Amino acid sequence: FYSLLFREKKRRKIEELTEKLVTKCLKLAAALSCTVRYILFSVCRMAVDGGHGDSGDWDGRWNHVKKFLERPGPFTHPDFEPSIESLGFLLETCKILVIGAGGLGCELLKNLALSGFRHIHVVDMDTIDISNLNRQFLFRPNNVGRPKADVAADFVNNRIPGCKVVPHFNKIQDFDESFYRQFHIIVCGLDSIIARRWMNGMLISLLSYNDGVLDPSSIIPLIDGGTEGFKGNARVILPGMTACIDCTLALYPPQINFPMCTIASMPRLPEHCVEYVRMLQWPKDEPFGEGVGLDGDNPEHIQWVFQRAHERAADYNITGVTYRLTQGEEHHTVTTSACSTEVFKMASSAYIPLNNYLVFNDVDGLYTYTFEAERKENCSACSQVPQDLQFPPSAKLQEVLEYLTENASLQMKSPAITATLEGKNKTLYLQTVASIEERTRPNLCKTLKELGLSDGQELAVADITTPQTVLFKLKLTS
Ligand SMILES: [Zn+2]
């Protein structure tokens, strides 16, 4: 017993001594590293003050970037002339707008700032939610509730010397042409197709034409990144020159991917089972209380969906329902790397930009492919061709409204239709203001003839998907 006690005392003593020693060593190390840090800092300051006269730059800071800008290579643009001025343009002049400070936006801001872009603005209308913290890495728990744009800008500005991110806690619709015109390149990291289309429409409205010829100086390139589940895409849009968002609108299906009857009654794929639980079982069971929607960032919600989907798959002898499939994790890193690279290529004009649509998919294995999306001849956003609306005179206004919302190339959300009748501007239907909706609702049941619309009549349609009014020409068929 004594020998045991002695050994225990000895052990404690040794522990105590070790602890003291470690503390001393740590203190010494801290003091030393302070000195070392101070010396290093002074050296850096000297290099900066004597070298570039620009705060925040140290010797060799841009070596990696310079390698792309100051020498030719097998992949450089044929017209590219390597020069030391390109870096100056990136650092001092080039102004970038990032739309969205969420999953994609955080990555974009970090990438752009580290690539040398210093004049960056960011627009985001959201505040930080606790469920964002797992992947929106510029945010910390004590930032919850604060605007994403503000926190993201603060983080980047504090971390990356010389970088000036200007935050805007706003909707994109809060700004007009003069705001957007100040940027060299706009990058979208959005999850909303409506916002993306609005931005697209805004950049198209900035184009100017001389005798029908597009003035290239009025073009602001749009780099657009998007993710959905295991799929991602990056695209380069030169408004007025290459396919715009609305040109390829039919690529974004307005309805769900799987027919409802398949999901509900004859599932064949693991995805069908997951969709069944998400779309039908969740609203029916309300597992987390009445009216609690499915939150894709909430692990408990995902776990619940995963288990139910697993059970359903077992009932139908389907294999392959995994937690990963249920979660539908997003590929922000790949998409945003591609987007940031495109911004760099475009800003430096050192490399040929992506032409023009890159898809990325890792549902099963890994697949990536780039193709050239083509312009749509009669695109309602960028073609400058009047849009035809063909209806018989007996068609009701309701049918026109349905066409505008359901047509795959238009996909409007709450179109407001006006027409000039007998020299007066008349609102035929407007949904977004309750009093006007009530007043104009009877028009929906009237036929085009009853409304006094004739063949060739112009209809002006306003919608949240575009900042501009879209003009349609009514073609009455007999
Ligand atoms: Zn278009």
Each residue's pLDDT tens digit, 257-314: 566 777 888 888 888 899 899 888 998 999 999 888 888 778 899 999 999 999 999 9
Residue 467 CA, ligand 1 centroid: distance in Å: 14
pLDDT digits (tens, 9 = 90+) for 432-471: 899 999 999 999 999 999 999 999 999 999 999 999 999 9
Q: Is 188 a catalytic residue?
A: no
- Say which residues have a Cβ less than 8 Å from residue 271's Cβ, sequence separation at least 6: 258, 325
The structure's pTM equals 0.77
Q: Ligand 1 centroid to 189 CA: how many Å? A: 19
The pLDDT > 90 percentage for the chain reads 63
Q: Which two tokens stand for residue 402?
A: 């349905």
The string of pLDDT tens digits covering residues 8-41 is 666 666 666 666 665 655 554 444 444 343 333 3
- CA of 372 from ligand 1 middle (Å) equals 14
261, 273, 339, 382: the active-site residue = 261
The dihedrals phi and psi of 211, each to the nearest 5 degrees, come to 50, 45
Residues 412-421 have pLDDT tens digits of 999 999 999 8
Protein residues within 5 Å, CB atom, of ion ligand 1: 244, 246-247, 379, 381-382
245-254 per-position pLDDT tens digit: 999 988 776 5
Residue-wise pLDDT tens digits, 119-144: 999 999 999 988 888 889 999 999 99
Cα 237 to ligand 1 centroid, rounded to whole Å = 10
**Helix extents (H) in 102-147:** 103-114
The amino acid sitting at 344 is: F
Q: What residue type is assigned to position 122 of the chain?
A: V
CA angle 183, 186, 192 (to 5 degrees): 140
Q: Report CA(370)–ligand 1 centroid distance (Å).
A: 19
Residue, of 107 and 386, whose pLDDT is higher: 107
